[in-house]
Amino acid sequence: MVKDADSRGRLKLLALFVVFALPMAMAWAMVEWRIGVPDERTAHGQLHTALPRLAEWPLPPVEKEGADDWLMVFDCDSGCATQADRWWRVHRALGRDAHRVSRLRIAEASGKALPGERIVGWKQLPAWASAGVLWILDPEGRPVLSYAPGVDASHVLEDIERLLELNPEPPVTSMDDA
């Protein structure tokens, strides 16, 4: 009778080890042998790691709405008003996360800025710049994604929502911490 209880106890302990070790073993196998890990890209835009930070762009000093804001920067071409409206609508479509994104329009002629937008002009056109291109910059000013002039606005919205989801808003500091 004691022997039977001992073997049941050992069996329970072994089952407990398996329950906790099996997920770790499966995760290791997925990483090691790339089983069940998607290989395709999830972003619709072009990834950019070689472009300089915003502070190094040949632009006048740029202020964002908030210090931790992501930045939508678009270089206007002939249809500047249409592009500005298009990106304003994408910005508004972010809903409750819209306050986490600022917009910057790079245009030669200083037109009327839409709400939440800054307008500046190139001091000198860099070799990597292209009219009509939209760049998404992280809060530290590093270019993350770029989009060709004819990109579908829903793709840009989807990518920005994903970036904001993967990079949560920093916690609000209390007045006592200051």
User: Structural domain boundaries of the chain?
Assistant: 1-40, 46-166
Please count the other Cβ atoms lying within 10 Å of the Cβ belonging to residue 123.
10
Q: What is the pLDDT of residues 66-108, one digit of tens each?
A: 778 899 999 887 778 888 888 999 999 999 998 889 999 988 7
Q: Give domain 46-166's CATH architecture.
A: 3-Layer(aba) Sandwich (3.40)
Contact 84, 72 (CB under 8 A): no
Report the C-alpha gap between 137 and 73 in whole angstroms: 8
Report the C-alpha gap between 33 and 31 in whole angstroms: 6
pTM for this entry: 0.70
> What are the residue ranges in the chain where pLDDT is below 50?
none
* pLDDT at 51 (0 to 100): 87
Residue 55 DSSP class: G
Report the C-alpha gap between 133 and 151 in whole angstroms: 9
